[in-house]
Each structure stands twice: as structure tokens, then as C-alpha cells.
Amino acid sequence: MNAPYDVNDALRRRIEELERANRELRLQIRVQDRLSQATARVHESKDREHADEMSSATRRIETLQDSRSSLQASESRLRESEKRARSSEKKLRQIADNLPALIAYVDAEQRYRFNNKAYETWILRRPEDLFGLHVWDAIGDEAYGRAKPFIDVVLAGKRTWHEWWAHFPGGLRFVRSEYIPDLREDGSVAGFYVLVSDLTDIKRSQAALAESERRLRLAVDAGRMAIWETDSATDMIRSSPEMNHLLGLPPDCDPSAEDIVERYAPGEREKLRRVTLEALAHGDRHAETELEVVWPDGSRRWLLLRVEMRDIVNGIPGRTIGVAFDITARKRAEEHQQLLINELNHRVKNTLATVQSIVAQSLRNAATAAEAQDAVEGRLFALSRAHDVLTRENWDGASLREVVQQGIEPFQGLQDRFEVSGTDIRLPPRIALPLAMAFQELGTNAVKYGALSNEAGRIAVDWSVLDQDTGQHLRIVWREKGGPPVAPPARRGFGTRLIERSLAQELNGSVVIDFAPPGVVCTIDAPLTGS
């Protein structure tokens, strides 16, 4: 008999079956879920890889696009650069072709790689004909021989140059050839640049300038003049060795304006300013004046200044250029000439007075007209001979020996009866004329009464210069001997008075006549200094 059906038990089993099925289902779901997640991860990874590949591809595409754009830009810039380079090269070529110089580039094997157009006019060779040609083939052996030492230097990497007279088809030219090395980064020489400049005109100008300066120097030396320049803005005076010499300064010194002004004689600076202002007031840029200067040794000199004033603003010259001449000799000659004129005037007056006295006294003391005539003629003749001596010397004085010789010449006769001794000195006119008159009177008296009145008498004339407290004095002694015995005269004649009084007064000295028995002795003492 069957057991009774238990609903609860069946239900329980059903529930357990369902739970088992549920567990299996959940397990399947979990497995499926894990599979789905794994699949998703695989797909996600593939998606990421794909995305990465796409991104990389995109980037590559973008890079390629950028590269293409950059390449296009570079190509454009390259084309532009090449265009500019061609333009620059063209301009450089034009510049090189228009320069008045030979320009070339020579490689290390000494072959021309560039020549400008000047080669056509200088050596009559076109640049394209010289391309690739060796230097020695282009310029010839002689010119290359001159240039080779310098080419060797530039190929050693050093810049060099030389100047020389070169033969060209157009003639001889003085040129400066420069060689400049073209160095690679490693220091080796790729070639060198050549620059040849024509210095012929400069050389000839320098020669002409040197010749002009030589002629100027000759003119300056011959004219004994100095060139100088002043600058008012800087108060500077540009002197010269010649100007220094005229101012009594060392030739190599560089004097300041004050050093030069110190040489001016008192009042000269104001005179220069006055002369300048007067010239400018008349609209004249040139002026001329004399300048007296005092040398360090105290001696005085005179300069003739001729100036040209430049850069005149508000009546004031900015620069003054001038020349100076030493006119000291001329000034002294002028002063001496004036002194001689004054002396001559004085002497003429004195001579006329002397002539008047000679004539009057001779006529008064002569016994006959013939005697008076002889006395006047003799004395006037002695006076004229003294004047002749002074005239030959331009009234600058006379030789004492010549005055003595002229004075005794009329009494020499056929036999030399005079003994003359003494060192010759130069006499001023104030002494020469009275002495000539004295010798005439002494000779005349000797002929009449003294040593020359017989055949045996002689006369000695000697002189010396003595140093005394008042200065140097000239002492002349006239000594007669061998003539008739001498006795003092009862009265002094005109000749004696002329010697003792007039001569002493003229000489500003003393004259003593001693009528000693052996012969007359006349001693003359006259100062050589003073008026």
C-alpha cells in the first residue's frame, strides 16, 4: 500500500530544486558576467589600441601635414633666399664691377675663381676668360715674380700687402696689392682675396706736394721767414722751429701763447691789437705791422708780421695765419742811416765852419796872396781826403792807418821819411776828420820849419789804445827828429791853434805840442767811446 502523499515534502523538494537551479543560474550568470567583462576588457583594449593607432595615425598625418607645410614654407623661404642671394650676388657683382680697383678670388691652387670688370680696363682680359686660369698665366712671369713672395705668405694664412710700380697695357701705375686669406673652419686656406688699388694719382700728388713743400722750405729758408697760426677759441699759437728761432727760443720747444707774448717789447701787444682792429674796421682780412721782441739775452730784434684773419665772427677772427720776417738788420741799417744822416749834417756844419775858419785865418796870417792860396788849398785838400775815406766807408768810420797814410801822403816825396806803427783800429767819423786836419797841419809845419825842411829829418807816427778809468783812449804820438834845432815859437800860429784847440775840442780829448830841441812832439789823447 502506498505511503500517503506528503504535500509539504514535495513542496520542499521543489523548492530545493528551484534553489539548485537558481544557484546554477546565478553561477552561469556570474560566469557569463565574467566572460562579458573579459570580452569587454578585450574589446576595450582593442578599442584603446585602435584609438591609439588612430591617434598615432592622426598625429602622423598631422605631422606629415606639418612637415609638408614646413617643407613648403622652407622651399618658399629657400626660393626667396636663393632669389635674394642671386639679387645680392648681382648687386655685389655690380658693386665689384664698378669699383676702381682689381678684385679677385684665387683658390689654393692659384686659379682665378672670380674677377671683377676692372680687369677688362686694367689688363684687357674679360673676367670669364680668366676663370680657372693660373695667376702666373694671367699676369705674366715678371709681375708674378714680384707678387709670389706675398702670395706665399697669404697661402700660409697671413694677410699681406705691397706697393709697387707695375706695367699695364695703359702704362705704368703705382699700385697697392693686398692679399687676404680665406680660412676654412679647420684653419686651412681655401684661397685668398685680391684687392689691387691704383695709387698713381696719390703717389704723384704726394710727389708734387713734397716738391711744393721743398720749394716752400727753400722760400722760407731763403726769405728767412717763419710761419705761424693762432686759434682764438683755444688761445693757442702753433709755432714752428723758424718762429722759435726768431723769438730766441729753442727750435724744438712748443711755447705757449704766454711764452711768446713774454717776448714782446713793452707796448707791442697793444699795438698788435690796434692794428688788427683797424684792419677789420676797414673790412680788410689782411694786416701788416712790425713787432719788436726781446730775446732772453736782452738783445732786441724786429720782426715784420703779415697776417690773414679767418673765421671772423662779430668782428673777431677765429683763426689768424701769418708769416714773420726778421728785419733786425734792416731796422738797424735804418737806424744807422738816420744816425749817419744826423752825423753828416753835423759834420757838414762843422766842415763849413772849419772851411770858413781855414780861409779866414789863412788869409789873415799869410804874408802874400800866393802863401794864402797854398795854405787854403793844402788844408782843404787834407779835409777832402779825409772825406773821401769816410765816403768810401759810408760814413761808418774809417781805418786809422788809412787816415794816417792819407794825411802824410803829400809829404812823402821820393823818399819814405815816415815810420808808421800801431795796430789798426776803426775810428768813428768824429775822430777821423780832425785827425786828418791835424796830420795836414803837422806835415805842413814840418816842411816849413821841422824835420822835413832838410834832407835828413824823419818823422815817427805811432799809436796805441790804453784802458783808463773812463774807458779806452787812443793815444797818437807825432815825433820829429833829424831836423833843424827847434825853439818854441814867439806866438802860436793858426795851424798850432787849430791842432791844440779845435782838434782837442773835436776829439773831446787833449792835444799837447812840445817844441823840444831835437824835434816837435805832438801827443794826441782821445776817448774812443762817447759822443
Q: Average of pLDDT values for 371-377? A: 64
Q: Is the pLDDT of residue 1 over 50?
A: no
Task: Give the model's pLDDT for residue 159.
Answer: 95
158 and 182 share a domain?
Answer: yes
What SS3 state is found at 528? coil
175 inside domain: yes
Q: Is the pLDDT of residue 230 over 60?
A: yes
504 and 371 share a domain?
Answer: yes
Q: Most confidently modeled of 105-114, 231-240, 429-438?
A: 105-114
73 inside domain: no
34 inside domain: no
Task: Give the model's pLDDT for residue 508.
Answer: 84
Q: Considering the chain, what percentage of its residues have pLDDT values greater than 90?
A: 18
297: region left, alpha or beta (phi > 0 left; psi from -120 to 50 alpha): alpha
pLDDT tens, residue by residue, 261-310 = 888 889 888 888 888 888 888 888 888 888 888 888 888 888 888 888 88
342 and 485 share a domain?
Answer: yes
Task: Give the model's pLDDT for residue 320.
Answer: 82
For residues 260 and 372, the model is more confident at 260
Q: Which cell numbers hold the place of 285?
A: 682780412
pTM higher than 0.75, yes or no? no
**Final residue of a domain: which of 326, 349, 375?**
326
312 and 339 share a domain?
Answer: no
Q: How confident is the model at residue 355 (pLDDT cuts 50, 70, 90)?
A: low
Q: How many residues does the chain have?
A: 531
425 inside domain: yes
**For residue 320, what is the DSSP state?**
E
336 and 356 share a domain?
Answer: yes
Can you give the CATH number for the domain in which 158 is found?
3.30.450.20
Can you give the CATH number for the domain in which 448 is found?
3.30.565.10
Task: Please report, in angstroms and rounded to a whole number, the separation of the first and last CA atoms in the chain.
Answer: 209
414 and 489 share a domain?
Answer: yes
233 inside domain: yes
Domain containing residue 357: 332-527
280 inside domain: yes
345 and 492 share a domain?
Answer: yes
Q: Is the pLDDT of residue 414 over 50?
A: no
**Final residue of a domain: which of 326, 355, 375?**
326
pLDDT tens, residue by residue, 61-101 = 676 667 667 767 767 776 776 676 566 667 777 777 777 88
Alpha-carbon radius of gyration of the chain = 62
pLDDT tens, residue by residue, 8-55 = 677 777 777 777 877 777 777 776 767 667 666 766 766 677 667 667
121 and 245 share a domain?
Answer: no
Task: Give the model's pLDDT for residue 529.
Answer: 75
- The Cα 442–Cα 448 span in angstroms is 10
Q: Is the pLDDT of residue 349 over 80?
A: no
310 and 342 share a domain?
Answer: no
Q: Is the pLDDT of residue 352 over 90?
A: no
Give whole-number Cα distances, 196 to 52, 266, 332, in Å. 69, 61, 61
**Final residue of a domain: which of 292, 326, 360?**
326
233 and 138 share a domain?
Answer: no
For residues 313 and 162, the model is more confident at 162
423 and 504 share a domain?
Answer: yes
Q: Which residues of 383-430 form beta strands (DSSP E)?
A: 398-399, 418-421, 426-427
192 inside domain: yes
19 inside domain: no
Task: Give the model's pLDDT for residue 377.
Answer: 64
Q: Average of pLDDT values for 53-60? A: 69
275 and 369 share a domain?
Answer: no
Number of domains in the chain: 3
Q: Give the chain's mean pLDDT.
A: 79
Across 86-95, 169-178, 356-365, least confident range: 356-365
